[in-house]
Amino acid sequence: MATGATDSKPVRWHILVFLLPAVLVYSAFMIIPLGSTLYQAFFSKAWAFVGIANFEMLFTDARYSQSFWNALRNNTWFFIIHMLVQNPIGILLAALLSNPRLRLRGFYRTVFFIPTILSFVIVGFVWKLILSPTWGVSQGLLKSVGLQWLFQPWLGKEDYALTALSLISVWQFIGIPMMLIYAALLSIPDEVIEAAECDGITGWNQFFKIQLPLVLPAIGIVSILTFVGNFNAFDLVYVAQGAVAGPNFSTDLLGTLLYRTFFGFQLQLGDRAMGSTIAAVMFLIILTGVCIYLFAVQNRLTRYQF
């Protein structure tokens, strides 16, 4: 199909040659495994076709449903914290950076992106150490500003651990929303801003009435990227809290649940069929999110052509 041969023209083999390596590797290690994993979600461990029984078990059977709904709830909270914290901070930093007369903007830009290039392993352990009551760095810091009562072993308490991890993840990824919004702000032509100033719209008023509406598409992209990344997250929890996502599964996400179900942990044996089922549910969640974005959000956001 890729050769594009028509009756009159000779076969253009070079098109095939150009496409083949990419299509082969991509199909063999991405599309086929994805399809095969989805397919296996409909089969039992012994390869018998079971229809949607695996999904039923995941949603309702006591062995799975509790951890599944827990992971889904946690994952949703994880995403909500990201949206609530990362977008305002990202917008604020981007707005400050986009001021053309700001000095040191290159420096700030570079620094704010440093956490983003570090791996989850580093980020997870670094924060685990810093928040550890054994070391006492954060107690010491809070004490120096008179806020030592605020200190808690955040990662060790069921009530706070997930929120603390979400904030760590925000700390790590803030560079991406900041940069994308920053780029959108820079692409607003000067005439638009000048026109606003002529009309007496300045400062924060100008920002909320002129710039913010113009960068909404960028915020939309940031949101969908965050959504996909969050519902597929695994590394940070695994590093900071282990595969059992402690304390008491309070930081369990779909990614860590998939890992434990597929590979097993402690006394539970790995289960390929249920692993595939969880992967299939994650696929559906992400697909739904992406479709909502592509068909509902993206079309409604007004794009301004300059």
Beta strands at 264-265 and 268-269: parallel, antiparallel or unpaired = antiparallel
* Least distance (Å) between residue 11 CB and other proteins: 10
**Binding of other proteins by 160 (CB under 8 A):** no
Contacts to other proteins from residues 124-143, by CB under 8 A: 125-127, 129-130, 135-137, 140-141
Footprint of other proteins on 44-63 (CB under 8 A): none
Residues of this chain, 203-222, that bind other proteins according to CB under 8 A: 203, 206-207, 211
The least CB distance from residue 251 to other proteins, in Å, is 16
Nearer CB in complex with other proteins: 227/249: 227
Compare residues 52 and 141 and give the one whose CB is closer to other proteins: 141
CA distance 124 to 13: 49
Q: Least distance (Å) from other proteins to the CB of residue 150? A: 16
The string of DSSP letters for 220-266 reads HHHHHHHHHHHTT--HHHHHHHTTTTTTTTTT--HHHHHHHHHHEET
User: Minimum Å distance from CB 65 to other proteins?
Assistant: 20
First CA to last CA distance, the chain: 39
Asked if 3 interacts with other proteins (CB under 8 A), we say yes
Q: Which residues contact 293 (CB under 8 A, 6 or more apart)?
A: 220, 223, 224, 227
| Whole-number CA gyration radius for the chain | 24
Burial class of residue 177 in the structure, from the number of CB atoms within 10 Å of its CB (0-12 exposed, 13-18 middle, 19+ buried): buried
For residue 235, the minimal CB distance to other proteins (Å) is 5
Give CA–CA dist 183/129, Å, rounded. 35
CB 137 within 8 A of CB 130: yes
Q: Choose between 117 and 296: whose C-beta lies nearer to other proteins.
A: 117
Residue number with CB closer to other proteins (161 or 174): 174
Peptide bond into 247 cis (omega under 30): yes
Closer Cβ to other proteins, 96 or 159, answer by number: 96
Q: Does position 146 bind other proteins by CB under 8 A?
A: no
Could you tell me if 40 and 272 are in contact, meaning their C-beta atoms sit under 8 angstroms apart? yes
Pick one of 111, 147, 150, 292: the residue that binds other proteins (CB under 8 A).
Answer: 111
Type of residue at 63? R
Nearer to other proteins, 159 or 206 (CB): 206
Which one of 50-58, 118-126, 149-157, 158-166 is the stretch in contact with other proteins (CB under 8 A)?
118-126
189 binds other proteins (CB under 8 A): no
